[in-house]
């Protein structure tokens, strides 16, 4: 295993996969995708690559097959100095959000991430519902979610706020830090142990870029100017993979304003293990927890053991996940119909008597 690829976050399974790749192909990790080109970090430094024709064909069939930040890829260097991205290696984890434009396919934000830090500023006061939404997305990805509460220097009761957040984040660690004073940064750094890949997810202005800069110890990313109301401007289109001098890789995703859920329901179940466990106790298997008798979820609401705010948040996310699943279903059926039409057409052609 090359020292450089290891510094880029190469894991054992990808390293093994690379053994089977033809020698003339060069491995690398995608740092950024823009204008139809990928910036790829290789052992010999960064290069810009376009898509090979076979990759283009794959993308036509499945847009998610296109390279994204964090992907491991192999490149071909041509005699005329062109560089093409030949293929994307199997992804260990993927952070997928529902497409903003309305297609039912998700957009892959980042791949091969070990830990997802949901970055939330402590000032203005955190929106718990939004954290729960990020957690569902993070659990669905296969990576380990952690909530990182930043801007601790701006509030007097950071630990009390962290306790509130922890109640909404079962199974996930909640860290408190400040990019400005450096307090708590060692705990965030520990997430990168073993050259792990850490992706930062959060709303615009949450403090992601400031956190990356603080972790790196240098100014790598532009930090946006703060607005009067304490919220950041919505700026970023950039998405970067940063190799930290002390080891580990950070992926800074763009500030997400609205993030749609694109998921099987597993992420939601993992983000709400309390409600999932209650639902298993309901009298009816398909209980909607709205009006059925002997509903354990409603019983917990009534005796106060399940906060109403959390229940509402879950109902909202569940409705959204169900809607996305229905849309995906419609798309699959439309595709199946197309495939069938194509197959039967070529079948009819075969039946035609030959001249
Ligand atoms: N006091 C204080 N301010 C912070 C801290 N971290 C970030 N800020 C400020 O919060 C604002 C937004 O920070 P950014 O790091 O640009 O936020 P971002 O999450 O990268 O935002 P996008 O680029 O839109 O994704 C900036 O004005 C920062 O100076 C912190 O720990 N303490
Ligand atoms: Zn129920």
Nearest residue to 215 via CA among 238, 182, 241: 182
User: Is the CB–ligand 1 distance for residue 99 below 6 Å?
Assistant: no
Q: Which two tokens stand for residue 88?
A: 């994307």
Q: pLDDT tens digits, residue range 151-204?
A: 999 999 999 999 999 999 999 999 999 999 999 999 999 999 999 999 999 988
Q: What is the sign of the dihedral through the CA atoms of 298, 301, 305 and 308?
A: positive
Residuewise pLDDT in 10s, the chain (355 residues): 456 899 999 999 999 999 999 999 999 999 999 888 999 999 998 999 999 999 999 999 998 899 999 999 999 999 999 999 999 999 999 998 876 555 556 788 899 999 999 999 999 999 999 999 999 989 989 999 999 999 999 999 999 999 999 999 999 999 999 999 999 999 999 999 999 999 999 988 899 989 999 998 866 555 544 433 434 343 333 548 999 988 999 998 765 555 666 666 788 888 999 999 999 999 998 898 988 899 999 999 999 999 999 999 898 888 877 777 776 666 666 766 666 666 555 555 555 555 5
Residue 287 annotated in ligand binding:
yes
126 lines ligand 1 (CB under 6 A): no
Does the beta carbon of 180 lie inside 6 Å of ligand 1? yes
pLDDT at 233: 40
Rounded-to-integer distance, Cα 255 and Cα 200, Å: 9
Single out the residue of 105, 102, 83, 84 nearest to residue 94, CA to CA: 105
Q: Is the CB of 206 under 6 A from ligand 1?
A: yes
256 Cβ contact list (under 8 Å, min separation 6): 97, 201, 202, 203, 204
CA atoms within 13 A on the CB side of 203: 22
* Confidence at residue 178, expressed as pLDDT on a 0 to 100 scale: 97
Residue with the smallest CA separation from ligand 1 atom 4 is 151
197 annotated as belonging to a binding site for a ligand: no
Q: Which CATH number fits domain 3-88: 2.40.50.140, 2.40.160.20, 2.40.100.10, 1.10.3720.10?
A: 2.40.50.140
Q: Is the CB of 39 under 6 A from ligand 1?
A: no
Phi, psi of 308 (to 5 degrees): -60, -35
- Helix, strand, coil percent content, the chain, rounded in steps of 5: 35, 25, 40
What are the strands, taking DSSP E only, across the chain? 26-34, 37-42, 45-51, 72-77, 83-88, 94-98, 106-111, 115-121, 144-150, 173-176, 197-201, 240-243, 249-252, 260-261
Centre a 10 Å sphere on the Cβ of residue 273 and count the other Cβ atoms it contains: 12
State which of 221, 224, 233, 250 you would mutate to test the pocket of ligand 1, scoring each by most atoms of that ligand within 8 A of its C-beta.
Answer: 224
Query: Could you state, in order of their start, the residue ranges of all structural domains in the chain?
Result: 3-88, 94-260
User: What count of residues does the chain have?
Assistant: 355
Lateral strand order in the sheet of 173-176: 173-176, 144-150, 115-121, 197-201, 249-252, 240-243
Any idea which ligand is nearest the CA of 222?
A: 1
Q: Whose CA is nearest to atom 7 of ligand 1?
A: 207
Between the CA of 63 and the centroid of ligand 1 the distance, in Å, is: 32
- Residue 202 assigned as binding residue: yes
How many other CB atoms are found less than 10 A from the CB of residue 156?
8
What's the topology of domain 94-260? Rossmann fold (3.40.50)
What are the residues facing 133 on neighbouring strands?
Answer: none
Helix (H) or strand (E) holding 137: helix 128-141
| CB-ligand 1 contact for 224 (6 Å cutoff) | yes
- Which atom of ligand 1 lies nearest, measured to the CA of 204? 24
- The helix/strand/coil state of 252 is strand
Is the CB of residue 189 less than 8 Å from the CB of residue 244?
no
């Amino acid at each position: 295993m090359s020292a450089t690829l290891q510094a880029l976050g190469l894991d054992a399974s990808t390293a093994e996969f690379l053994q089977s790749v033809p020698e003339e192909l060069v491995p690398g990790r995608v740092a950024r995708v823009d204008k139809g080109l990928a910036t790829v970090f290789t052992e010999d430094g960064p290069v810009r690559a376009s898509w090979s024709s076979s990759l283009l064909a794959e993308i036509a069939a499945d847009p998610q097959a296109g390279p994204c930040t964090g992907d491991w890829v192999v490149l071909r260097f041509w005699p005329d100095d062109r560089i093409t991205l030949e293929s994307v290696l199997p992804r260990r984890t993927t952070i997928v959000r529902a497409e903003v434009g309305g297609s039912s396919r998700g957009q892959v934000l980042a791949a091969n991430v070990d830990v997802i830090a949901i970055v939330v500023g402590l000032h203005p006061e955190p929106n718990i519902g939004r954290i729960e939404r990020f957690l569902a997305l993070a659990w669905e990805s296969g990576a380990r979610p952690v909530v990182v509460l930043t801007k601790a220097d701006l509030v007097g009761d950071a630990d009390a706020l962290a306790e509130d957040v922890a109640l909404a984040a079962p199974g996930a660690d909640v860290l408190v830090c400040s990019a400005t004073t450096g307090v708590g940064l060692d705990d965030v750094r520990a997430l990168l142990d073993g050259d792990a890949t850490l992706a930062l997810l959060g709303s615009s202005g949450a403090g992601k870029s400031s956190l990356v800069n603080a972790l790196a110890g240098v100014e790598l990313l532009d930090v946006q100017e703060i607005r009067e109301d304490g919220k950041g401007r919505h700026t970023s289109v950039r998405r970067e993979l940063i190799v930290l001098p002390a080891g580990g890789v950070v992926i800074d995703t763009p500030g997400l304003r609205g993030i749609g859920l694109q998921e099987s329901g597993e992420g939601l179940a993992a983000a709400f293990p309390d409600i999932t466990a209650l639902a298993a106790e309901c009298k009816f298997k398909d209980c909607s927890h709205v009006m059925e008798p002997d509903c354990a979820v409603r019983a917990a609401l009534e005796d106060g053991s399940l906060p109403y705010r959390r229940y509402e948040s879950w109902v909202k996310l569940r409705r959204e996940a169900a809607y996305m699943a229905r849309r995906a279903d419609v798309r699959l059926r439309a595709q199946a119909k197309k495939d069938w039409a194509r197959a039967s057409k070529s079948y009819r052609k075969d039946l035609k008597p030959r001249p």
